[in-house]
Amino acid sequence: MGRIFDIKRYATGDGPGIRALVFLKGCPLACAWCANPESQHAETEILFYRDRCVGCGRCVAVCPTGAIGLDPAVGLTTDLAKCTACGRCVDACLHEAREKVGEDRSVDEVMELLGRDRRYYENSGGGVTLTGGEPLFQPQFSAALLGACKREGLHTALETSGFADREAMELVLEHVDLLYYDLKHPGPRAHQAGTGQSNAPVLRNLSRIREAFSGDLIVRIPYVPGFNEDPDVQRKMIETASRVRGIRRVEILPYHRLGLTKYAALGRTCAVADLAPVDKGSLGGLRDLGRRHGIEVEIDAR
Amino acid sequence: MTLRTDRLRNELLEARPRICPERARFFTASMKMTDGQPIVKRRVRAYGDVLRSMSLYVRDGELLVGNLASTPRGAPVFPEYSVEWIEREFHGDPYHFYERPNDVYDYDEETKTEVLEILAQWRGHTVYEIVRGLIPDAARQAWDIGAIDDDWVTQNGFGNILPDYGVLLPQGLRGVIDRAKARLAELDLKQPGEAKKQWFLESVIAANESVIGFAGRYAEKLEEMATRESDKARRAELETMARNCRNVPENPPSSFWEALQAVWFIHVGILLETNGIAISFGRFDQYLWPYYERDLASGKLTREKALELVESFFIKVNELNIFRSWAGAKFFPGYHMAFNLAIGGQTRDGKDASNELTYVVLDATAKVAMPKPSVSLKWFERTPRELMSRTLEVVQEHSGGQPAFYNDPGVMRMLKNLGVAQEDLWNWAPVGCIEASIPGKWDFACKGPRLNKAKVLEMALHGGKDPATGITLLPGGDLASFASAQDVMDAYKRQLHYFMELQVMIEQINDEVHIQNDLNPFRASLISDCIGRGKDLLEGGSIYSTDGGPTVGAMTAGDALAGIETAVFEQRWITGAQLLHAIDTNFEDDSTTPTGEEIRLLLLNKAPKFGNDDDRADKWTVALTDYLGSTYQKEFKNSRYGKGPVPACFAYCQSSVTANVAMGKGVGALPNGRKAGEPLNNGVSPATGAEKNGPTATINSVGKLPSIWFSRGAIFNLRLSPDTLLTQAGRDRVTALVQTLFEKNQYHIQFNVVGTDTLRAAQAHPEEYRDLLVRVAGYSAFFAPLNRELQEDIIRRTEFDMAQC
């Protein structure tokens, strides 16, 4: 079984053609700018969109642990200590104000769903992309799912932070055609501060990637003001990427704020909530930087 | 686009449609003199008088001539079909023509007086009044309830004709006349029935001579204009145009330019004989190709000049207009005339048929970017990727959803099932909004009363009673009494069958009335084998024949059935009686538990819906569609059965046009959470807002439909976010969507690519967006002049969000 929080059936930004995007839940990193905060925790969670709530109380009535309360000042509240994420409140809600994220699915179940769109993948040269969260955080499941895709002749892609055991990486990469590998910061301290983890495994895994993986490789760099927008920092990462043998290109993903409503729905605050979205037009210099290192840099391929 | 095309286009955008009394004037005067004679002879004489007498215009700079009315976008009056609505609307009921919410017409007092005088002479004798007087009471009530509706083919002539220009052009109308003369000489007038054939064939000859004479009048006018023209270049053009009109449509065209002029005269000739819409152009890039190729090889023509000529042709198409009732304009807004024009597809031996002219047509579609004609690409497995890509670029540039995409092998499979001969299959072309036809061999690709499938469901849930009028036609159990979802379905099928029977009865009567009042030898002479058989289309002259009016609302009905199954029989949230009360009170009774609004939200958000690849919902739509398709085709014969054509049955049509909005207004709340009066689903597209899993899931749902019954068309609208088609990768992905849909044997798909922001801006500032096109249903229309409800329906049709596409 794997814990999945979403499957998008017509994804177009993470690999060629028409693709299914399988989102695995749980990530060892905790990036401050994460656009999918519901992907971070391994546990199943309930999102609550306060602006859609009409305060009818149907969820309060069905909650078996009394976790949902009504505070006259702010409306509904959830005591996370009591919530078991059973999802009954989601079923009860008539206004789509609640969403359950995180379902345990077998490889066969996921393959059944992917099989429904098989002809779209084949006709468009597309396939399946695993993303997260961190797919390497569930290595057995990811390897089994991607292996099943390969047996079905589907093109596979994987998006990873690179923060994983060597063994997990090798286990999964065996079944991957296209790898998206994130670089976030070259400095150990800054990386630790921004993502909650050391970048040592990320850099080590990348430097040895070709021992385990011979497919297409694209390095992705999130461009986050206040974290890694320093030209020197960007240069170092592009340099690092350019040293990987046979790398296809670097993709710069400028910070955006589309995840903010989900932080609110999770009852969390985003550490960089005040950060303005990046103007893509200002990043042309990175393309020139790439050219000087003999590597193509694409801004926001999505 | 050349400066000339640009100017002609701008003038047309400025031109206000006007009521033109000329056709009614000359036609009526002639008919008064021939009372008592055979109808075919009377009408052909009147037709000749119209073509001899009506005023001609030649617009400054135009390259093709031939007008339907005295002004560009002028709308001729055909009083023989219906007068009542014209009289009413002249008196402001429900609107004056010039102040309608859409489809306005201007006129001066003189015209109004003249037209009213003419109408008075027709009162009591029009096709519409005669039909209404003859149909059974139940059919009239069903019509008044809005379960069925035959206005469109009783207030106007029959349409949906497709001549075979590939056969016509090389022989010219002289060839048609010669054939009729030869056939006439063979008649043995001692034999029964031959007298009628004689009248018909003589009328064929007279009609074709009249059209040739019409072209001759233009030749004279152009010659005279040339002598007065001071600009040398324009004078040379006028002289060429005069020569063109001397040669065609009588004789085979000697150039590409003449071939276009010949098609144009025949098209206008058909439209002046009767005002039936959807007269289509067929496989334009195929039958014009020999002329294009020859002229290019000889140096007479360049690609640029050819493009200008095709642009000029497209401009002419947009000069045509129809005078339509307000009731009709709600169904077909935007002065819609459904002139379909096909490109691509395959050759007789299964090769890719596309050529350079295919791309010229695409360029003209993008550059002229007006509502007419409806350009359609026939796709098959050997359609080049380059052609798909260019066509999708044009979808973006045109913005109004043109071209639309048709499944060539899929439609061939449906036509074969219908009984079309193997050797004719490859050459099919879409007619009107969408319906498949064989060029020059089919009578009416679409004809017959509309059926409102959601209204019939509403009645089935109410024991056969229409809640709005209280009328019960076929009593039965109601929603409170059904023991299972299948019981509901069975009751629904029983009601559907009843209303299909009424549809068929009305159309049999309609046809008999037309046979007595509305035979049209010109267009009949263009369809095989009317001349051979000496018969009009309605008498059984064509090779192929079907009836079957557009039906509306299958997906809305299927979702309602899924809602009943989920809420009443599976989850048991509420009883059938509670649900019945909830829809009767439009989900507004908040004294019940759960409240009406809670029931609506349960149905809307918690019950499965068609369009999400969810069998719990899709199975109902599939079953309903299969029932309707097989019943029409297997149980009901049309009036031509046994008279020559095959299969001469009814067939299932899902070309809703915008009837989903107009018909939705008359339907109360339904168990899919839809409130009273809201639009129904469009064509075979999911109900608005129902699809939530992206386009592959939507296409998978549509792909489950039993398309073997869909030869009369199934419109599928998919809205894409506005930037989808801007990149090659995006166009390749959409190509894969089209290909996969068509591998599932489905009929058609078209794309709306205008963003919500743009549409909202156009609502706020219509004057700045006067040439913004949108795909309405089987055709395109300017967005700004549409009425507000329709604008809202177009905006609400699901736009897959940016992240999805």
How do the domains of chain B map onto residue ranges?
Answer: 1-63+166-252, 128-159+444-714, 274-428+716-805
CB contact under 8 A, A94 and B613: no
Q: Is the pLDDT of residue A225 over 60?
A: yes
Q: Above 70 in pLDDT, residue A302?
A: no
Task: Provide, as residue numbers in chain A, all residues whose Cβ is less than 8 Å from the Cβ of B729.
Answer: 12, 16
Write the residue in B598, B606, B736 that is nearest to A120 by C-beta: B736
B735 has a chain A CB within 8 A of its CB: yes
- Pick from B288, B268, B335: nearest CA to B73: B335
Mean per-residue pLDDT, B260-279: 97
- To the nearest whole Å, the CA of A14 is away from the closest chain B CA by 11
Taking the CA atoms of B612, B727, B411 and B748 in sequence, report the sign of the dihedral they define.
Answer: positive
Contact A9 B602 (CB under 8 A): no
Which pairs from B770-774 meet CB under 8 Å and 24+ separation? B770/B13, B771/B13, B771/B369, B771/B370, B772/B399, B773/B369, B773/B370, B773/B371, B773/B398, B773/B399, B773/B400, B773/B401, B773/B402, B774/B399, B774/B400, B774/B401
Mean pLDDT of B619-641: 98
Residue A301, pLDDT > 70, answer no
Nearest CB among A18, A94, A258 relative to B696 is that of A18
Q: Do B598 and A126 touch (CB under 8 A)?
A: no
Task: Determine whether the interchain pair B733/A17 forms a contact, defined as Cβ–Cβ distance below 8 Å.
Answer: yes
pLDDT at position B801 is 40
Number of H helices, E strands in chain B: 33, 17
- In this structure, the strands spanning B435-437 and B429-431 are antiparallel
CA distance A194 to A221: 14
pLDDT at B803: 34
CB-based contact B240:B312 (threshold 8 Å): no
The bridge status of strand B544-547 relative to strand B435-437 is unpaired
- Dihedral sign for Cα B537, B543, B548, B552, please: negative
The pLDDT tens digits of the residues spanning A143-188 come to: 999 999 999 999 999 999 999 999 999 999 999 999 999 999 999 9
Backbone φ and ψ of A212, nearest 5°: -110, -15
Q: Are B115 and B19 in contact (CB under 8 A)?
A: yes
Which 3 state secondary structure label does DSSP give A212? helix
Is A39's pLDDT higher than 50? yes
Residue B805 has its nearest CB partner, among A12, A125, A258, at: A12
A260: DSSP letter: H
Give the N- to C-terminal CA distance of chain B in Å, as an integer.
31
Are A119 and B606 inside 8 Å of each other by CB?
A: no
Which residues of chain A does CATH 3.20.20.70 include?
Answer: 2-41+103-299
pLDDT beyond 90 at A19: yes
Q: Give the H/E segment covering residue B75.
A: strand B75-76
> Which residues of B3-52 form beta strands (DSSP E)?
19-20
Where residue B798 falls among pLDDT bands split at 50, 70, 90? very low
pLDDT of residue B783: 85
* CB A131 within 8 Å of CB A24: yes
Q: Which fold has domain A45-101?
A: Alpha-Beta Plaits (3.30.70)
Lowest-confidence segment of B140-149, B193-202, B418-427, B484-493 by average pLDDT? B140-149
Chain A residues in contact with B605 (beta carbon < 8 A): 94-96
CA distances from B639 to A33, B38, B196, B648, B697 (A): 70, 20, 18, 7, 41
Search chain B and give the residue with CA nearest A122. Answer: B736
Under the banding of pLDDT at 50, 70 and 90, the label for residue B419 is very high
Of B696, B800, B804, the CB nearest to A117: B696
More confident residue, B150 or A63: A63
In terms of Cβ atoms closer than 10 Å to its own Cβ (0-12, 13-18, 19+), residue B616 is middle
- Give the separation between CA B587 and CA B5, rounded to whole angstroms: 54
Phi, psi of B786 (to 5 degrees): -70, 155
Residue B1: predicted pLDDT:
74
Question: What residue of A is the nearest CA neighbor of B803?
Answer: A11
Looking at beta carbons, which residues of chain B come within 8 Å of A123? 735-736, 739-740, 743
Query: Residue B45 to residues B126, B286, B467, B526: CA-CA distances in angstroms?
Result: 19, 34, 49, 18
Interchain pair B729, A126: CB under 8 A: no
Q: Please tell me the distance from the alpha carbon of residue A197 to that of residue A220, in angstroms, as a whole number.
A: 18
Contact B466, B459 (CB under 8 A): yes
CA distances from B151 to A74, B41, B272, B747 (A): 57, 27, 20, 27
Q: Do A10 and B694 touch (CB under 8 A)?
A: yes
- Residues in A touching B598 (Cβ below 8 Å): 56, 94
Region A89-113: what's the mean pLDDT? 96
| Domain B128-159+444-714 listed as CATH 3.90.650.10 | no
pLDDT of A109 strictly over 90: yes
A98-101/A103-105 β-pairing? unpaired
Task: Kindly determine whether residue A95 and residue B605, on different chains, have CB atoms separated by under 8 Å.
Answer: yes
Averaged over B183-199, what is the pLDDT?
97
Q: Nearest chain B Cα to A124, which residue?
A: B736
Q: Do B804 and A8 touch (CB under 8 A)?
A: yes
**Confidence (pLDDT) at A276:** 87
Which of B164-178, B224-238, B447-461, B722-736 shows the lowest per-residue confidence on average (mean pLDDT)? B722-736
User: Is B173:B205 a contact under the CB 8 Å cutoff?
Assistant: no
Whether pLDDT at B324 is above 90: yes
Of A10, A119, A125, the CB nearest to B695: A10
CA separation, residue A106 to residues A1, A80, A146, A299 (Å): 4, 27, 13, 36
Above pLDDT 90, what percent of chain B? 87
**Torsions phi, psi for B74 (to 5 deg):** -70, 150
Please report the pLDDT score of residue B612 as a whole number: 96
Across the interface, whether the CB atoms of A117 and B695 are under 8 A apart is answered no
CB contacts < 8 A (A, B): 64
Burial class (CB in 10 A: 0-12, 13-18, 19+), B267: buried
The amino acid present at B60, given as its one-letter code, is D
pLDDT digits (tens, 9 = 90+) for A46-60: 999 998 899 999 999
Report the pLDDT value the prediction gives residue B171, as an integer from 0 to 100.
98
Give me the mean pLDDT over the B586-613 stretch.
97
- pLDDT over 70 for what percent of chain B? 99
CA distances from A221 to A161, B617, B701 (A): 10, 43, 38
pLDDT tens digits along B84-111: 999 999 999 999 999 999 999 999 999 9
CATH dotted code for A2-41+103-299: 3.20.20.70
Confidence at residue B183, expressed as pLDDT on a 0 to 100 scale: 98
What pLDDT is attached to residue B170? 98
Of A9, A94, A258, the CB nearest to B696: A9
Distances in whole angstroms, Cα of residue A55 to Cα of each of A19, A93, A266, B587: 38, 10, 18, 19
| Preferred mutation among A96, A118, A123 to probe B, highest tally of B CBs within 10 A | A123
How far does CA B468 lie from the centroid of its chain? 29
Q: What is the rounded distance in angstroms from the CA atom of residue B510 to the CA atom of residue B503?
A: 10
Q: DSSP letters of B129-141? A: HHHHHHS-HHHHH
- Counting Cα atoms < 13 Å in the Cβ hemisphere of B787 gives 18
Name residue B550's beta-bridge partners: B653
Nearest to B693 among A9, A96, A126 (CB): A9
By C-alpha distance, the chain A residue nearest B805 is A12
Tokens of A238: 């592009």
Q: Which residue has the tokens 């099919």?
A: B428
Amino acid symbol at A192: Q
Task: Give me the pLDDT at residue B797, please.
Answer: 64
Residue B331 is predicted with a pLDDT of 78
Q: Do A123 and B613 make contact, defined as CB atoms within 8 angstroms?
A: no
**What's the pLDDT at B805?**
32
Give yes or no for residue B628 having a pLDDT over 50. Answer: yes
What average pLDDT is seen over chain B? 95
Among the partner-chain residues B606, B733, B743, the one whose CB lies closest to the CB of A18 is B733
User: Which residues in chain B have their CB less than 8 angstroms from residue A119's CB?
Assistant: 740, 743
CB contact under 8 A, B694 and A8: yes
CATH 3.30.70.20 occupies which residues in chain A?
45-101
